[in-house]
Amino acid sequence: MTRQKQTFSDASLPRPSDSAVPDRFKERIGDLFDTWADVRSRNAGLSAYYDMKNLLKDLGISIPEGMLSVNCTVGWCKKAVDARAVRSVFDGYVFEGREDAALNALVKENRLRTLYNQACRSSLVHGVAAFTVMRGRAGQPAAMVRAYSANQFCCLWDKDAGRIGCGIVCADVDADGRARKYVAHFPEAVLTFERGESGQWSCSEEGNPMGRPLMEVLIFDPDLDRPLGHSLITPELQGIVDKAMRDVLRMEVGAEFFTYPQRYILGASDDLFSVPPEGCTEDEDGNFVDSEGNVVQPVASEVKKMRAYLGAMLAISRDENGDVPQVGQFSPGSADNFTRVFENDAQRFSGATNVPLAQLGVMSSTYTSSDALGAANDPLILAVEEMNRDNGDVMEEVARMIMAVAGGVPIGELSDEQKSVQACWKDPSMPTISARADGWTKLAAADQSIVGTRVWYEELGLSQAKIDRIEAEKRRMGAIDAMNSIAKSLREAGAR
C-alpha cells in the first residue's frame, strides 16, 4: 500500500545496497539513481507550480513584510496543463478498422483510458511519464499496466534503439513514505529490490524474453537534443506566474488602502492616540509616573487610532496654543492599474500556452463573435493534435506489450494483425452534438452506407453504452420484423 501523498527526496528514495545488486547491473543501476537524484529537485519544483504550492518570490521593494503571508496563489500552470490534457482523450484500439474483444477487455480491466489521462498530465508537467506492463498476479488482468510520474521513475535513453535502454520505478513505500520496493526494467531481465524490516535489501531477478524493457515513456515536446522531452511549464511561464502572484499581493495591499484611506492630523496632541503604560498613574501635573515616581512617556494605542479612524464623529480640542488641529485624508490609489497589470500577465501567459484567456479564469471582451471565440481555441487544438500523434505511437507500443505479455510470447512473434494495432483518439476540438450531426449529415449525403454504423454513432458523439443499446434495439426490432414476416407468410399459405 502506498501513501496518498508521497514526498520524493534523497531520504525517501534510498538506494539499494551494493551487495544486493547483481554485478552485471551495478553500473546501470548506479547511473539510474545518479540521474534520478540530478532531476529530483527540478521535478519537485515543476510539481509545486502545477499543485499551486510554489512560494512567492518577493523582490523586497514595495510589499510590506506583514503582507507576505497573504494567500496569492495563481493556478495558471495547472489550467494550462489541464486544458491540453482534457482535449487529449484516448479512445481504445482498432485493428485495420476492427476492434479486438480480448484487447478491449484488457484495456477496460486496466482502466487504461484513465491511466493515459493521468500519464498525459504528468508528461505535460515534467516532460515525461512512464507505462510498465507486467504479468498480473492472481485476481489481476493477464497483463497489468501501471503508470508513473517522473517523480516515481527514472530511465536512460538508448539513442541507437530509439527508445529507453533501461528504467527503474518506485513500486511501493512504507508508512513513513520511504521506498521499500523498486522494479528495474532491462532488455534482458526485470529486477525487483525489496527492503526488509531490518533495513537489508534483497534482489530477485526474472528473465525478460521480450527483448526490450517492459516500460514505455510518454514524452512531451521531444527533440534531438532532449529525447526525453520538455515540460510545458517553461521558465517563461514560471516567471509570468511569479509576477502575477506579486501583482495579486499588490492588489490586496491596494485594496486595504482603498478601503481604509490614510488620514492625517496636523497639530494634534500626543495623548489623542496614546494611553498610559501599564501600572502607571497620572500625577497632579498631568504626567504619567511609574510606581517609583519617575515620569514615563505615553504608549501609542492602535485601538484608539482605529476608534478615531472609524468614529462617526471625531471631536478634537484646541492645543495649548489655542490652535485647532487640521484633519485630512490622502487620496487612495485606483484599483484599475492593478487590474490592468494582472490582465496583462494573463495575456502573456495565454500567448505563451495557446490557452484562451477565458480558460485561465480571466474574462475578456476582445472576442466580437462566437466564431472569434472558437478561433481562439484553434492553436490549442493544433497543439493537441500534434501531441496525440506522438502519444499514439507510444500507446500502440503499449498495446503490443500488453498482447505479448498476455499471450506469453515475445513482441516479435505477434501476428501481423496484432502488430498493426492503432490507437484511437476523440476529436480534440470537442464539437457539440449539433455540430457533429451537421457535419456527418453532409457526409452521409455523399455516402449513404455509413448511416447507422458504429462509426456513424461514435462521430455523432454518442457513448459506447448508448451505441450498444441502439444496436441491441435494432437487433430486437429486426427479429420482431422477421417473425412478423414469417407469421404473415404462414397465414397466407394457410389461406391458399
pLDDT tens, position by position, 257-285: 766 666 666 665 556 666 667 767 777 66
Report how many domains make up the chain: 3
217 and 80 part of one domain = yes
Rounded to an integer, the average pLDDT of 290-304 is 68
On whether both 163 and 297 belong to a single domain, the answer is no
Say if residue 76 is in the same domain as residue 187. Answer: yes
C-alpha distances in angstroms, 396 versus 137, 391, 392?
A: 24, 9, 6
- Show the cell assigned to 454: 458504429
Question: Are 48 and 98 within one domain?
Answer: yes
Q: Are 145 and 112 in contact (CB under 8 A)?
A: yes
Question: Are 131 and 195 part of one and the same domain?
Answer: yes
Judgement on whether residues 395 and 277 belong to the same structural domain of the protein: no
Its domain, for residue 325, covers 263-329
Whether 339 maps to a domain, the answer reads no
In the block, which residue shows the cell 485594496?
Answer: 255
Cell for 191? 529486477
Tell which of 329, 351, 369 closes a domain: 329
Most confident of 47-51, 297-301, 481-485: 47-51
List Cα–Cα distances, 243 to 79, 80, 100, 271, 352, in angstroms.
17, 17, 51, 43, 15
Q: Is 5 a domain residue?
A: no
The 3-class SS string of 378-397 reads: HHHHHHHHHHHHHHHHHHHH
CA distance 485 to 496: 17
Distance CA 406, CA 110 (A): 13
Which residue from 174, 175, 179, 183 is spatially nearest to 146, judged by alpha carbons? 183
Same domain, 224 and 269: no
SS3 298: coil
Q: How confident is the model at residue 131 (pLDDT cuts 50, 70, 90)?
A: very high
For residue 347, the Cα-to-chain-centroid distance in whole angstroms is: 21
- 364 domain-assigned: no
DSSP letters for 389-430: HHHHHHHHHHHHHHHHHHHTS-GGGS-HHHHTEEEEE--TT-
- Residue 109 covered by a domain: yes
129 within 8 A of 149, measured Cβ to Cβ: yes
- Between vectors from CA 340 to CA 338 and to CA 343, what angle results, nearest 5°? 110
- DSSP H or E stretch at residue 47: helix 26-50
For 214-239, what is the mean pLDDT? 95
Residues 228 and 268 in one domain: no
Same domain, residue pair 137 and 222: yes
Residue 85 lies in a domain: yes
pLDDT over 50 at 126, yes or no: yes
Q: What confidence tier does 110 reach under pLDDT thresholds 50, 70, 90?
A: very high
- Shared domain check, 126 and 58: yes
Banded pLDDT at 312 (limits 50, 70, 90): very low
Ranking 48-62, 65-79, 207-221, 311-325 by mean pLDDT, the lowest is 311-325
In sign, the C-alpha dihedral spanning 82, 84, 89, 94 is negative
- For 456-477, how does the pLDDT look when each residue is reduced to its tens digit (9 = 90+)? 777 777 666 777 777 777 777 7
- Looking at the chain, the whole-number percentage of residues with pLDDT higher than 90 is 48
Is residue 155 located within the same domain as residue 212?
Answer: yes
What pLDDT does residue 465 have? Answer: 73
Q: Quick one: average pLDDT of 115-143?
A: 95
- Name the residue among 472, 337, 401 with its Cα closest to residue 142: 401
CA atoms of 299 and 292, how far apart (whole Å): 18
In a domain, 107, yes or no: yes
> What is the residue-wise DSSP string for 224-246?
SS-TT---SS-HHHHHHHHHHHH
d(CA 429, CA 446): 24
Cα 375 to Cα 82, 291, 378, 455: the distances in Å are 19, 79, 5, 27
Name 89's Cβ contacts closer than 8 Å, sequence gap at least 6.
113, 117, 425, 426, 428
Check: CB of residue 246 under 8 Å from CB of residue 63: yes
User: What order do you get walking across the sheet with 163-173 strand by strand?
Assistant: 153-158, 163-173, 179-185, 189-195, 201-207
Res. 430 pLDDT band, cuts 50 70 90: confident
Residue 199 lies in a domain: yes
Does 123 share its domain with 59? Answer: yes
CB 273 within 8 A of CB 245: no
Q: Of the ranges 93-97, 102-106, 305-309, 398-402, which one carries the lowest mean pLDDT score? A: 305-309
